[in-house]
Amino acid sequence: MKMKIYISILIFSFATCFLHLSIKKEKLESEIESLFRYLSDSIYRYQISVINTNQIESNKKSHIYDGDLLFMNNKNYGNDVKLLADNIQELIRDSRENSIIDDNLWTVANIFPTYMYIYPDRNGYKELINSHKDNSYFDYLVRSEKIDFHLVRDDLSVYETIRVFGPYYEDITGEKLITIYYPLYNNKVVESILLLDVKYDFLHEYISKYNYKNISALKLSSNGKEADLIFKIIAKQNNQDNVYLPIMIDYFLFIVLYFFVTLFYFSVYFSVYFSYVLFVENKKDNLTGFYRKDFLKKIKQTNCVIVIDIDFFKKINDTYGHAVGDLVIGEVSKRIRNSIRKTDVAIRWGGEEFVVLFDNLFNIDNLTIKLDELLNIVSNEKIENLDVTISIGAFISLKKLNLSDAFIYADKALYKSKSTGRNKYTICHSLDK
């Protein structure tokens, strides 16, 4: 029996883990799509602010505005610039407050045809920008990333114009990055390109944090194609079709989760089991498995009670000894237990005397069948090579009586059975409506 329970716990634990991960996987996919949508919303707000910022004439000697670095192109394309320090800082704050980006934002740059903003400035960035001597860095990106300079297709979503590159190792810092290019259009013409460098493992890091918070065991299986995945998530935001995210079960973490879930269920099982032993089994008689006599204190009323007595038990004890007597009591109680329902209450009243309270038994014919069964099951097969019989006194009523009164009637009926030959039953009833 215990082995079946243990196997059931193992199966139930596995099913619990699998169902839990299915729910958490769906929730994770929804969160990732929502967070990328929030990122795109931040970019859109930034684009609006860029469009509505007037150009001013820059100071040729100064390339720093409000802490942001402004790199002028080597060639003289003119001196009008947009001051976007506050706008960029707001975009950076929004991006870092987005939990999927968080602290993984590496670089933000807004590249115009004749100048660019970049934050933060890192050693070598200026040399990298100025290395494109034949044309501006803006022209280089438009050409190398195949960015649509004019939006000629009306059905093309602005989200579908983005480009994602990576993963790659930045030559200057050696950091492994993914770059997202957002072309910012004004009247369907590229005005500038917003560049976001993000640490390569930002998605994996988000999922790891998600696993920790949600007690799950998931991982991203992109096989190095994070750039394609990011493009699909962002580009399909206006599409009704869901984007397939290759989120799978991390089997190592699944085993760990399964271990702890199983441990939890076994802890619950043993807690319930030992509580049952402490509060229920300890109230039972060791020899018979029936409740002890003091259990009746919890029961106030009944409508059907029987009292059973083993016939000539004293003679068995005197002739064969108490050890055989105990074997007889144990076997008789076992046969009684096999004849009654689980909802019925069996009590060892004295040495060889038992009391059974039948749960909601109102029909005297059914009671008669049950009493015949009890007589036969005890007497038909010998116990310790001895012929053993029982006598029964029963009380049944349509209405519940105080247990003490019902017991008195059943006990008187038992006395009648014993005084008129034994191995029989007598019923006392109150079945008048």
- Burial string for 216-239 (b: 16+ CB within 10 Å, else e) reads bbbbbebeeebbebbbbbbbbbee
* Angle (nearest 5°) at CA 132 between 101 and 145: 50
> Which pLDDT score, from 0 to 100, does residue 208 have?
92
Given a cut of 60, whether residue 60 has pLDDT beyond it is no
147 within 8 A of 193, measured Cβ to Cβ? yes
Nearest to 145 by CA among 189, 185, 186, 180: 180
Distances (CA, A) of 269 to 11, 259, 274, 276: 14, 15, 9, 10
d(CA 217, CA 18): 10
pLDDT in tens, 136-146: 788 888 888 88
pLDDT in tens, 346-361: 989 888 999 999 988 8
Given a cut of 80, whether residue 69 has pLDDT beyond it is no
**Which pLDDT band holds residue 280 (cuts at 50, 70, 90)?**
low
Residues 6 or more apart whose CB falls under 8 angstroms from that of 396 comprise 303, 304, 361, 362, 364, 367, 427, 428, 429, 430, 431
Alpha helices in 165-250 (DSSP H): 202-214, 226-235
Given a cut of 60, whether residue 375 has pLDDT beyond it is yes
Could you give the 3-state DSSP secondary structure of residue 154?
coil
d(CA 384, CA 414): 25
> Which pLDDT score, from 0 to 100, does residue 424 have?
92
If you average pLDDT over residues 352-371, what whole number do you get? 88
pTM of the shown model: 0.62
pLDDT in tens, 71-121: 655 454 456 778 888 888 899 999 999 999 989 999 999 988 878 888 887
d(CA 324, CA 336): 18
DSSP 364-392: HHHHHHHHHHHHHHHHSS-BTTB---EEE
Distances (CA, A) of 339 to 161, 299, 334, 371, 374: 80, 22, 9, 10, 7
d(CA 219, CA 25): 10
pLDDT in tens, 13-50: 888 988 999 999 999 988 988 898 888 888 889 888 88
Residue 355 phi, psi (nearest 5): -125, 135
Given a cut of 50, whether residue 61 has pLDDT beyond it is no
Alpha helices in 98-201 (DSSP H): 125-130, 137-144
If you average pLDDT over residues 226-244, what whole number do you get? 73
Helix (H) or strand (E) holding 4: helix 2-51
> Which pLDDT score, from 0 to 100, does residue 432 have?
55
Tokens at 7, concatenated: 């196997």
Given a cut of 80, whether residue 176 has pLDDT beyond it is yes
Q: In terms of DSSP bridges, do strands 353-357 and 345-348 run parallel, antiparallel, or are they unpaired?
A: antiparallel
Percent residues over pLDDT 70 in the chain: 85
Tokens at 215, concatenated: 């007690």
pLDDT in tens, 388-417: 999 999 999 888 888 888 999 999 999 999
Nearest to 228 by CA among 164, 159, 144: 164
Given a cut of 80, whether residue 379 has pLDDT beyond it is yes
* From the candidate CATH numbers 3.30.360.10, 3.30.70.260, 3.40.50.720, 3.30.70.270, the one assigned to the domain spanning 285-430: 3.30.70.270
Given a cut of 70, whether residue 188 has pLDDT beyond it is yes
If you average pLDDT over residues 259-284, what whole number do you get? 76
d(CA 19, CA 117): 49
Name the segment(s) of the chain with CATH classification 3.30.70.270.
285-430
DSSP 181-196: EEEEEETTEEEEEEEE
pLDDT in tens, 294-333: 777 778 888 899 999 999 999 998 899 989 999 999 999 9
264 within 8 A of 319, measured Cβ to Cβ? no
**Which pLDDT band holds residue 278 (cuts at 50, 70, 90)?**
low
DSSP 261-319: HHHHHHHHHHHHHHHHHHHTGGGB-TTT-SBPGGGGGG--EEEEEEEEEETTHHHHHHH
Given a cut of 60, whether residue 209 has pLDDT beyond it is yes
> Which pLDDT score, from 0 to 100, does residue 221 have?
82
> Which pLDDT score, from 0 to 100, does residue 62 have?
42
Helix (H) or strand (E) holding 327: helix 322-339
> Which pLDDT score, from 0 to 100, does residue 242 have?
66
Q: In terms of DSSP bridges, do strands 64-65 and 68-72 run parallel, antiparallel, or are they unpaired?
A: antiparallel
234 within 8 A of 36, measured Cβ to Cβ? yes
> Which pLDDT score, from 0 to 100, does residue 145 have?
84
**Which pLDDT band holds residue 64 (cuts at 50, 70, 90)?**
very low
> Which pLDDT score, from 0 to 100, does residue 113 have?
85
**Which pLDDT band holds residue 66 (cuts at 50, 70, 90)?**
very low
Average pLDDT, the chain: 83
pLDDT in tens, 129-174: 666 655 678 888 888 888 888 876 666 566 778 888 888 898 878 8
